[in-house]
Amino acid sequence: MAVFLTEKNRVAVAGLTGKQGTFYGLRNRAYGTNIVAGTSPNKAGTTVEGIPVYATMKEAVEKEQADTAFIIVPASVAAASILEAAEAGIGFIVCVTEHIPAHEQARVYNILKRHYPTTRLLGPNCAGILSPGKANIGFTPSEVALPGGPVGIVSRSGTLAYQALYELTVAGIGQTTCVGIGGDPVPGTSFIDALEAFQADPETEAIVMIGEIGGTAEEEAADYIREHVTKPVVAYIAGVTAPPGKKMGHAGAIVSGNKGTAKGKMAALEAVGARVAQNPTEIGGLVAQALGR
């Protein structure tokens, strides 16, 4: 089955009336996502192709029983929007917004941990989450996905997640859920969170994990895999040729000294038995091997 997101989630879109919010909100709804409301302080009382718009997330919860928030608003108000959703009682928040300052991310992360420990934040600066055949929140192109499992995907990179979906699909291997955790320094959901969910999911038989340079999240995930994950893991780490000290795309993708290198992450994952691809086109074949196909 899917993790974190199914067709039963009742989704309110913060920013639905904006250009990007309208485009992706309606695109996600067309796929089957249960979009029940939008929020906009200035356009409350209007509708977007039949979807009611409320002033606050609290109203969306009270009037439409929203339990999931899709945050697609400018960076200047994204942190406040995340906290508004948590305060309203939303249990799952997906924030795709980029360029939120790192100190704001850290503040939101700590407030959620301290005051709203049962609320899960995915992102920010992530592609979102796709449970093929069930629901989609964010940017992930459902056209390259194949419903039915048995593979779960977790990725810092949106683009590489899309390619992993494609490589699996052309190999005839379906997916349970594709989780984009984002490439910022302070993600709300970690590799470990996704690994734990996939390990517990009876329909997920193998896991694809896509990391990149910067930070220690992949090494921490390797430690977790050693102790807690019994399902086969196929990994790919982007940034093998990245020069030290230069940020590569994502805010968190930077090698500092000898820390955060792609080779170090690859070695850590190989040491715990993960099959590590040398380029993303190998993912489908390695997963097929892991599944004995």
Give the active site residues. 250
Structure tokens at 63: 């009037």
φ/ψ of residue 25, rounded to 5? -60, -45
Give the pairing of strands 128-131 and 135-138.
Answer: antiparallel
Q: What are phi and psi of 267, to 5 degrees?
A: -65, -40
Sort 257 into a burial class: Cβ within 10 Å, 0-12 / 13-18 / 19+: exposed
- Whole-angstrom distance, CA of residue 243 vs CA of residue 16: 39
Alpha helices of the chain — where are they, by DSSP H? 19-31, 57-64, 75-87, 102-115, 158-170, 191-200, 217-228, 262-271, 283-290
**Among residues 258, 126, 145, 103, which one has the least CA distance to residue 193?**
126
Within 10 Å of residue 32's Cβ, how many Cβ atoms?
14
Q: C-alpha dihedral over 113, 116, 120, 125, to 10 degrees? A: -70
